[in-house]
Amino acid sequence: MLDGFYVGYMSADGYGVVLFVFKGKAIVGVDAGGVKFDGNFDQDPATKAYSGKISVDAPPNIDLIQGINTGPNGLKYEVPFTMPENFLEAPFIKITTPFGAVNVKLEKLRDLGDAA
């Protein structure tokens, strides 16, 4: 079961850290700059890979790790992703966003326990 808290170490033009919660087939996350992540995923029964989509909601006037500023209105965009079944063992996962590629290393911090 994937349910739990994860840290995502992200790098592109810059570097960032995101806290994610996986629960069921949902992912939610947030970083220190106030960027919010909401998404869903499924596991392919044949390949065992995970794939889904994350909506990113970035607040106004911050710099994203892709090297762009969100401007006075902030930015909202969607990012499709695919991860191998053993994504925690992968050195990184390459995610292609509308503003450039981002490398993500995920590490599970703990299970959800009774919160699940």
Question: Would you state the pLDDT for residue 14?
Answer: 87
Percentage of the chain modeled with pLDDT above 90: 95
**Global pTM value:** 0.92
Count CB atoms within 10 A of the CB of residue 15.
Answer: 10
Chain segment 34-85, per-residue pLDDT in tens:
999 999 999 999 999 999 999 999 999 999 999 999 999 999 999 999 999 9
Whether the pLDDT of residue 12 is over 90: the answer is yes
Radius of gyration of the CA atoms of the chain, in A:
14
